[in-house]
Amino acid sequence: MSSIPQGRVNSPDLSNIERRSSNRYGYIANLCVSKSSRRQGVARNMLHFAIRLAKENGAEKVFVHVHTNNGPAQKLYQKVGFQVKTKFLL
């Protein structure tokens, strides 16, 4: 359980460690914060927690996926230390 401004919620598994290859990595997906809790550091704290958890479980790198039109999330990820890499899918 985790505390948030509106109360307590069950914490899902926030990270996944890919263990099939010699390069171990974590992947953060679907980070969401309720509108009433935004801009209070909640997402930043969840990111730091997920990154720490992934590294404690052997991840060498951590990745996050964000849509190109989601500027606020991109800014947050960059502030936390993620680098932007663009992929084009066909």
Question: Mind listing the pLDDT tens digit for each residue in 66-82?
Answer: 888 888 989 999 999 99
**pLDDT above 60: residue 35:** yes
**pLDDT above 90: residue 49:** yes
Pick the CATH number of 2-80 from 3.40.50.300, 3.40.630.30, 3.40.50.2300, 3.90.226.10: 3.40.630.30
Beta-bridge partner residues of 4: 7
| Residues tagged active-site | 77
* Annotated domain spans of the chain: 2-80
Instruction: Return the exposure string of 43-81: e unless at least 16 CB atoms fall within 10 Å of the residue's CB, then b.
Output: beebbeebbebbbeeebeebebebeeeeeeebebbeeee
The mean pLDDT value of the chain amounts to: 78
State the Cα angle at 82 between 79 and 83, rounded to 5°: 110
pLDDT on residue 29: 83
Token duo for residue 24: 């171990």
